[in-house]
């Protein structure tokens, strides 16, 4: 599959989801349901959608529902706002009012429909006022990042799960605690690798509930103890990006992996967490990073 064919397949899948949302706005639209429509892993679907369209799945659905409500308010003036709310997928009139006011600045009853339509110069009877279809993905690599594909073997990891991981100091403290545990057991060998991974996307999960696993590779059969758990990370193919720099560069690396490289790669995400494999020990400080950002993938 060529890069252009790969990018086109991503666009088709995301646009298929957009069409599905438009046709089922009056139903409950869960991430799992939409991921199945897209034929993407539920684990990574939300981030793929956001990278392609610039808004989260929930934001997009809310906008589509409000736009459909605006259409019905203009062209079905005899219908009650409660009826319109239910047809657009809002379970109560109060929920409709809350979402509408958040997006439009006023309640549905106070909204000036004539002024709104005049300002937007909308004159066609679409079922939904606007469908923002997925556009072409970025052409080529303008970032200087270079991604390789590499198969990593099964990994046995000891880990400490850090809740409220976005609070300053909690993740470094967990790395130190895991290092103390491993040091006492003579597990800090030259072959041991530090890894960080998270199953939570902060666009979905409130920051207060986000977790991050600080991990160290250990020999098979290493027992769990206290707050240190042990698990296996199965072998997978990964898109691997080496990043050396500050936190901003690391964030841009992940953005590049998902938005620029992945849609043109011929791969889609596998149902495993992405990982940060530390080439420079996290115990050495957090001002500079030297990591391999690893995105698990499978053939598109």
H or E stretch covering 127 = none
Which two structure tokens, joined as six digits, stand for 95? Answer: 């929920």
Q: What domains are defined for the chain?
A: 3-120 (1.10.10.60), 147-299 (3.20.80.10)
Strand positions, DSSP E, the chain: 147-152, 155-163, 194-197, 211-217, 229-233, 236-245, 267-269, 275-278, 289-299
For residue 216, list its beta bridge partners.
158, 194
Maximum alpha-carbon separation in the chain: 76
CA–CA distance, 218 with 227 (Å, rounded to integer): 16
How high is the pLDDT of residue 160?
Answer: 94
Query: Which residue reads 């808004």 in tokens?
Result: 55
Mean pLDDT by runs of 10 across the 300 residues of the chain is 90 90 91 94 89 88 90 82 92 91 90 75 41 48 81 95 87 95 95 89 64 94 93 95 90 90 92 92 87 94
Query: Which residue reads 């679907």 in tokens?
Result: 45
- Based on the number of CB atoms within 10 Å of its own CB, is 20 exposed (0-12), middle (13-18) or buried (19 or more)? middle
**DSSP output for 157-206:** EEEEEEESTTSTTHHHHHHHHHHHHHHHTT---TT--EEEE-S--TTTS-
Cβ atoms of residues 22 and 132 within 8 Å: no
- Based on the number of CB atoms within 10 Å of its own CB, is 73 exposed (0-12), middle (13-18) or buried (19 or more)? middle
Listed in sequence order, the residues at least 6 apart from 79 whose beta carbon sits closer than 8 Å to its beta carbon are 72
H or E stretch covering 36 = helix 31-38
How high is the pLDDT of residue 203?
Answer: 58
Listed in sequence order, the residues at least 6 apart from 187 whose beta carbon sits closer than 8 Å to its beta carbon are 158, 216, 218, 219, 222
Cβ atoms of residues 183 and 203 within 8 Å: no
- Based on the number of CB atoms within 10 Å of its own CB, is 40 exposed (0-12), middle (13-18) or buried (19 or more)? buried
How high is the pLDDT of residue 266?
Answer: 93
Provide the angle, in degrees to the nearest 10, between the axes of the packed helices 31-38 and 42-53. 80
CA–CA distance, 296 with 142 (Å, rounded to integer): 23
How high is the pLDDT of residue 71?
Answer: 82
- Phi, psi angle pair for 155, to nearest 5°: -125, 130
């Amino acid at each position: 599959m060529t890069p252009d064919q790969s990018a086109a397949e991503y666009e088709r899948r995301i646009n298929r989801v957009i069409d599905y949302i438009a046709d089922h706005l009056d139903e409950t639209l869960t991430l799992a349901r939409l991921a199945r429509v897209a034929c993407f892993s539920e684990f990574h679907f939300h981030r793929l959608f956001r990278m392609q369209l610039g808004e989260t799945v929930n934001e997009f659905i809310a906008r589509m529902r409000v736009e459909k409500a605006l259409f019905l308010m203009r062209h079905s003036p005899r219908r009650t706002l409660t009826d319109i709310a239910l047809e657009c997928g809002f379970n109560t009139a109060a929920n409709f009012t809350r979402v509408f006011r958040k997006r439009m600045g006023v309640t549905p009853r106070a909204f000036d429909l004539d002024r709104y339509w005049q300002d937007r110069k909308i004159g066609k009877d679409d079922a939904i006022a606007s469908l923002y279809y997925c556009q072409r993905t970025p052409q080529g690599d303008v970032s200087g990042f270079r991604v390789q594909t590499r198969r990593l073997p099964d990994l046995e990891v000891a880990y400490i799960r850090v809740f409220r991981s976005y609070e300053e100091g909690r993740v470094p403290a967990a790395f130190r605690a895991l290092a103390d545990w491993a040091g006492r057991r003579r597990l800090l060998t030259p072959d041991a690798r530090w890894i960080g991974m998270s199953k939570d996307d902060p666009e979905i999960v409130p920051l207060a509930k986000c977790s991050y696993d600080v991990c160290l590779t250990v020999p098979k059969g290493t027992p769990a103890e206290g707050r240190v758990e042990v698990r296996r990370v199965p072998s997978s193919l990964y898109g691997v990006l080496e990043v050396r720099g500050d936190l901003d560069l690391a964030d841009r690396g992940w953005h590049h992996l998902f938005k620029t490289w992945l849609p043109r790669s011929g791969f889609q995400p596998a149902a495993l967490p992405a990982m940060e494999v530390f080439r420079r020990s996290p115990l050495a400080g957090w001002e500079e990073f030297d990591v391999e950002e690893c995105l698990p993938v499978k053939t598109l």
